[in-house]
Structures are given as C-alpha cells and as structure tokens.
Structure 1
Amino acid sequence: MIGRIDVHQHMVPAAYAAWLRDHGITAPGGRELPEWSPALALELMDRQGIATAILSLSTPGVHLGDDREAATAAREFNEYGAELVKDHPERFGLFATLTLPDVDGAVAAAAYALDDLSADGVVLLANSRGVYLGDPAFDPLMAELDRRGAVVFVHPAELPGPAAPGIPPFAADFLLDTTRAAYNLVRHDVPRRFPGIRFILAHAGGFVPYAAHRLAIALFAETGRDLDLILAGLAGFYFDTALSSSPAALPSLSSFPPPGHVVYGSDWPFAPELAVSYFNEPIAADEAIGRNARVLFRRLEGVSS
C-alpha cells in the first residue's frame, strides 16, 4: 500500500469546535462539524494508505471579526497542532493558521509558528473577509513567508456574498473561491515577486487547470504581460487531489502543471471516508502523486518510500 503524504487533512480539536459553536458556526462551508480526534485520524490514515498528514484548520479559520481574539485562537490551536506533531512526528505535520485580514497579526503568528513551533507551513484562506490573496495589502505577510521559504496551503472560504439556495458552498463556491485567489495571485505577480513561497491550491486549484487558458487571456488583456509567462504563473502552483482525482478531472490536472506539482489530498474529516476512498481509486497505482510532496517537506523525505 502506498504511503502517501496528505497535504489536505484537517484537524478539528474539541476546543476549536466548541469555540466555533459559541460563535454560532456549526456547518462551515455547508458541512456539519465532523467528529475528529488524533486516534480517528491515525485509523483513517492506516486504512487509506496515508503515511503522514499535514493538518490544518479549515474555513473559517480563526478570524471571526476581532483581531485580538483571532491572535489568541491562532496561538492556542497552532500550539495544539505542534504538540500533536511532537507526539507523532512521522504521522502528522502542521500548516499553522494565521489571522488575515489582520496583516500584522498574521506576520507575528507566522513567525511564531514557523520559528518556535517548527510548523511545516501555513494555511491561508483564499479570501479573508472578502479580501483575496494577492491583494497588495497582504504583501508584508508574503515578504515574511518568502524570507522563510514557506509552504502555503491555500484553502477556500465561503464566497464574499450570499450562497445560492440549494447549493452548499463546498460543492461549487469553494472551487470558484480558490480560482479567484489563484487568478489574483498571478494578477499581482505574487509568485514571481516572492519566489521563495511554494503555494499549494486545494481541490486541484478549483477551475484553474481546466480554465487556465481562459484565465490567462483575461489577464493578458488586462496587464499586457506575456501570455506564456501568465500561463507559467498559473501552472507553477502545486495542486492537491482532494475530492478532485476523478476520471473527468485527472486529464486536465495531470497535463497542466509541471511534473511533480500534483500532490495528494484527502480532505478528511470534512470529506467522509467513503468520498476519500472514491477519489483514491483512480490514483491507486500512481505512487508519484502520493510522494510528490516530499520535496516540500524535507523532513518527511523517507516517510513515504
């Protein structure tokens, strides 16, 4: 069985779930908060051939409107994740959560998580209270992450607008949200200006591989930049397979980015194990997808071999 490195697995500590419920959040993204524990995660990983999971908080993260509360919550849950990694260094990693749109708080949280907690990277929402990644207001954080050569996992949030009746955000809006973030990052030339950052886009980048040339033409019309460079910017992200390794999606996902840029993701526990198994089946024999993330996390190089 393949020992996969899972870059898209979430933790839902009991204290975090209780904190969200205290704020009236019971179904972020349209999914009820799932049952989770480290033991349940390890059992799932053993059944699904996952050697190591890089854990992250999912949407809505920790910024619910108050900068100070967000900073306190980020520290608490990042420290929880770091302790979990310390207890199981080969089985878990950590994408630390930050406090965007509070940029100063996010810079401080990133420094603490990466320097003191030895986090494997950070998770950023595609939009933070309506401000998309790539916005120049976030450049101080990008500079800090670039200086550290950080891995940034980009996870969708709910769109900055009302959901369509009968369509849960996770089903379609999440894909658009990630696509918007990728577009805005390339529009503002963030990957070129901050080349030390390695970005992973959740859910195969939303619509990016499938619609890349359409997106690139729009960016060319606006910016006048070289079309091939725009396409290279869009293709330069890493793309995880969470809920996206279907026979319909795999041809675009496999052919668009450079070799080695498709990495494994499960999206458990928000994706139930039945869904994890369903999307694992088309890539069951593809050992490279399971191991590609080793180049992003050098400490795990020998884990999935």
Structure 2
Amino acid sequence: MTRTAEHIAEQTADQPGPGLVDVHAHFVTDSYVRQARAAGHELPDGVPAWPAWSAEAHLELMDRNGIRTSLLSVSSPGVHFGDDAAARGLAREVNEDAARVAAEHPGRFGFFASLPLPDVDGALAEITHAFDELGADGVVLETNTHGVYLGDERLEPVFAELGRRRAVVFLHPTSPVCWERSALGRPRPMVEFIFDTARTVTDLLMAGTLERHPGLEVIVPHCGGALPVLADRINGFMKLFLPAAGSGAPDAVEQLRRLHYDMAGPAFPRQVPALLGLVEPDRLLYGSDYCWTPAHGVDAHIASVDAAPVPTGAADWRSLTTANAHRLLPRLAGRPLRTPEE
C-alpha cells in the first residue's frame, strides 16, 4: 500500500521531534549479492552472512522509528571487484535500482550513487548519469578500492567534477588490503572500518583535496571513526611535513570541522561526546546503518539517541539532525537544489 503523507504523520505522531533523515542507510539486491559472491565476497568483510533487504521491510522499520526519509547506498565491498567493465555495469545497475525505489516511494527514499573507482573515466561517466538522469542526492565512495585511497592523485578529475557540482560525498569504510594480518581474524567492521575511515580522510587532508575543492560536502560515517581522537595528531604532522599548510591555509582541525558526521554505530555514551570536542552540533546527522545493522539493532540505537543528552540550545537529536540534513540536502526540505554556480 502506498504510504501517504497522512499515514506517515500518523505513524510518527508519538515520536519526539520531526521525521528523521537517515543519511547512512543501505540496500542490497539479489543480483548485487550474486555478483559479489562470484567475485569471492562470500562472507563480506568477515561478517557471517549477507543481509536481506526489501523496500517494504525498510519502510516498516522507518515508520516504527519515525524516520521520514532514508538515503540508500551500497555498502562495502562496493562495486569494483577487479574488472573495470564489470564495475561500470554493476554501478549503473545498482544506481538505477536505487533510483527506481526512490521513484516508487516519493519522499521516503533518496540515494547516493555508487561509482566504479578506481576507474576514473567510468566514474566520470557515472557521475553524469547519476546526477543528470537519475537525480542522485550524492555519491558514496568506499574509503579505498584495491588499495587506492581517496587522496590518490589519479582520482583528482573525479573530485574536481564532484566539487564543481557541489556534490554530497558520503564516505563508507571497507577493508584495507592488509586485512589478512591486521584484522586478526575478527570481522573487519569492528575495528578496521574505523581506522580505514581515518586513513582515507587523512589522505584527503594531506593531499590537499578538500582544500582544492571547497564545493565538496563530505559526510564521514560512524561519528568520525577514530578522527576525533587523532585530529590534533594529524594536525601536528601536517604542519611538520607540509609547511605550506601553515601559511594561511586552513589547518587539519579547521578542515575537519567543515565536514559532516553521521551518528551510525554505538554513538552513545562515548563517541558523540568525543566528536563534539571536534565539531559543532550543526555538523551531525542521523544514520541507522540498516540493513547491515539488523532492525532490532536500529530500534535500540535510535532509543539510545532519543535518551541521550542534547547539546545546549537543541530541542532534541531528531530536530537537530533533521535540520542539519535539510541544509545539506535541500531537496528533502522541499527547497530548490543548489547549483554548481552557487
């Protein structure tokens, strides 16, 4: 049954604050899982099994928890399994799947498009298709693809185009190439994802990518991973080894404060307070990590967010993060989209 605006309001009437915007929400399709398994990802990133996903189950979760809109993206291991042509085809497939879900449920879903990195030409073609034909809300970039991190100079044309479009760039961690030794046999999302996020953001800082392309609107997942703890250390090393960084250009901490951070994962009682030592509350966004986090885990996570202390001046986390999301993604608030010229 199509969910009307009245139905949505009725479902969320007992939830504090406005309907949430979930910027960290995933989907999988049977075709995607089949192709990933064929490429050797039987146990993706060391987790026991692939999750199941359907729009209907996702909407039930959203209605139960007062989530108005979810931005869908493909999680790790992404779409590039070693062959450029196959990656281009899979990126196009999952992006069109996500666009179809969004069109079938207006107002409930948006999506961040996958790109076939490190294939630069394929990524540029998919950026054009995703934004101009499919109406993507942004792109999702894995923290590395086969060891190519996001500060790599070969990816400069991709960031130049995303910056020109003032695109929202949602980062998502994946396993580092050294995971066989570094993960110690444990599931990589537990620790490796957190440090691969810090690794790729540090690479973007050291390469000057964020400073060269101020139009980029970057979302860092999982409360910034290890970045709140490492920010001052990164800043010190940048000043030591990149003297130009100290000649009037924003330092690492200032650049990190310009980014956006979602609250997916165990946000409380420790991670969000640590993050608020680095950034202002207007940089925080809600994220569920569904369907890789199961529904009962999302229920518990959002209950912990609702119960957590709120920054001074904010009514509640729902109002705060939703207002932040509407500024970042004005389409969700019914406002005109930003243009590259703005």
TM bin, normalised by shorter chain, reads over 0.9
The equivalences for 1:286-305 within 5 A come to 286-287=317-318, 288-301=320-333
- SS in structure 1 of the partner of residue 282 of structure 2: coil
Residue number in structure 1 paired with 2:255:
233
Residue number in structure 2 paired with 1:267:
289
Moved more, 5-14 or 287-296: 287-296
- SS in structure 1 of the partner of residue 251 of structure 2: helix
Across the aligned residues of Structure 1 and Structure 2, the Cα RMSD in angstroms comes to 1.6
- Per-residue CA deviation, residues 100-119 of structure 1 (Å, 9 max, x unaligned), is 01111111111110111110
- Structure 2: how far apart are the matches of 1:166 and 1:64? 22
- Structure 2: how far apart are the matches of 1:76 and 1:232? 38
- Structure 1: how far apart are the matches of 2:323 and 2:303? 16
Instruction: Output the amino acid matched with 1:170.
Output: P
Instruction: Output the amino acid matched with 2:299.
Output: S
Residue 67 (structure 1) aligned with residue 84 (structure 2): yes
Ranges of 4+ aligned residues in structure 1 off by more than 3 Å? none
Residue number in structure 2 paired with 1:162:
179
Instruction: Output the amino acid matched with 2:87.
Output: A
Extract unaligned runs of 5+ from structure 2.
Answer: 1-14, 307-315, 336-342
Extract unaligned runs of 5+ from structure 1.
Answer: none
Q: CA deviation at 1:20?
A: 1.5
- Structure 2: how far apart are the matches of 1:291 and 1:302? 13
The answer to whether the 8 Å contact 2:179/2:188 transfers is no
Moved more, 285-294 or 73-82: 285-294
Q: CA deviation at 1:228?
A: 6.0
Instruction: Output the amino acid matched with 1:15.
Output: S
- SS in structure 1 of the partner of residue 178 of structure 2: coil
The answer to whether the 8 Å contact 1:53/1:91 transfers is yes
Residue number in structure 1 paired with 2:39:
23
Moved more, 288-297 or 83-92: 288-297
The answer to whether the 8 Å contact 1:183/1:234 transfers is no
Residue number in structure 2 paired with 1:202:
221
- Structure 1: how far apart are the matches of 2:267 and 2:56? 26
The equivalences for 1:1-305 within 5 A come to 1=15, 2=17, 3-31=19-47, 32-163=49-180, 164-224=183-243, 225-226=245-246, 229-284=251-306, 285-287=316-318, 288-301=320-333
- SS in structure 2 of the partner of residue 137 of structure 1: helix
The answer to whether the 8 Å contact 1:4/1:291 transfers is no
Q: CA deviation at 1:193?
A: 0.6
Instruction: Output the amino acid matched with 1:219.
Output: M
The answer to whether the 8 Å contact 2:123/2:158 transfers is yes
Q: CA deviation at 1:290?
A: 3.6
- Structure 1: how far apart are the matches of 2:134 and 2:33? 22
Of all paired residues, the percent bearing the same amino acid is 40
- Structure 2: how far apart are the matches of 1:126 and 1:118? 24
The answer to whether the 8 Å contact 1:45/1:51 transfers is yes
- Per-residue CA deviation, residues 44-72 of structure 1 (Å, 9 max, x unaligned), is 11112211000000111111000001111
TM-score with structure 2 setting the length: 0.85
Closer, same or farther: CA 189–244 of 1 in aligned 2, 3 Å = farther
- SS in structure 2 of the partner of residue 248 of structure 1: helix
Residue number in structure 1 paired with 2:6:
none
Instruction: Output the amino acid matched with 2:213.
Output: F
Q: CA deviation at 1:215?
A: 1.6
- Structure 2: how far apart are the matches of 1:246 and 1:167? 23
The answer to whether the 8 Å contact 2:72/2:112 transfers is yes
